[in-house]
Amino acid sequence: MSDLEFGQLPPPRSIPGERLEQRRILLERYVAASLRSSPKRWWRRRRVLLPGTVVVVTCLAAAGWGLRPGGLADRASAVGCYSAVSLQSDTAVIGGAAAADPVGACLEMWRRSGLESGGDAAACLRDDGGIAVFPRKDACGSLGLRPFAGVSDLGRRFAAFQHDAVSLVAADRCRPRAEIVADLRRALDSYGFSSWSVDDSGFGRPWARGLPCASLAIDHDRSAVVVVPFPDLRQK
């Protein structure tokens, strides 16, 4: 028996929708990482915002002496806003239209978070093709990264696929899983990602009991779309 006096506990409170959404995203990322055969360290995150629209990107010119040539991002569905000029610093991950103006998006996020950047920031390409923004204009050169110069055709196509895939799963999370897997397979093929796999093996894990519905995570390292076990929110 616990020593807690349950009668003295505060009354239950409802969780804001934004917090529930953040918890869902963190769960998806955790499950996707747990299914990898050889997990790799990604960046550390303090908060995550789910992209809600297809990414449309304008090309930004890279300038400056001593910089590597600017490059195009292959992973455009999210932008990492790093709190310091280090790939190990705390990072906020934002998506949606952020890739169209990653510096502006991160400056606004930092302003809301109380981080003083002095208005200086640089958008760079990580070695994995993702977009990283740091609070200093010379960050790309300091870290040996290429300046961000826009999004590749591959990045645009995958961002469009991911937008459609998220909508597809969210439309009915609790329909037969085989239907969800088949729809994701067709979407991957239609966008030209036939080499990607759809992984729903998480449903065979012991921790998936009581999670009959589905959510979605993307594992770029394995080129896999992961169908994540998710609770049935219709039940009370």
pTM above 0.85, yes or no: no
pLDDT per residue as tens digits for the range 119-144:
789 999 999 999 999 999 999 999 99
> Which pLDDT score is estimated for 61?
30
H-type alpha helices, the chain: 17-34, 102-113, 139-143, 153-171, 177-190
Identify whether the C-beta of residue 122 lies closer than 8 Å to the C-beta of residue 133. yes
Could you tell me the mean pLDDT of each successive run of 10 residues in the chain, 236 residues long? 32 45 50 43 38 32 46 90 94 86 93 82 94 95 95 93 93 95 97 97 92 93 94 79
| 3-state class (DSSP) for residue 30 | helix
- Rounded CA-CA distance 136/171 in Å is 41
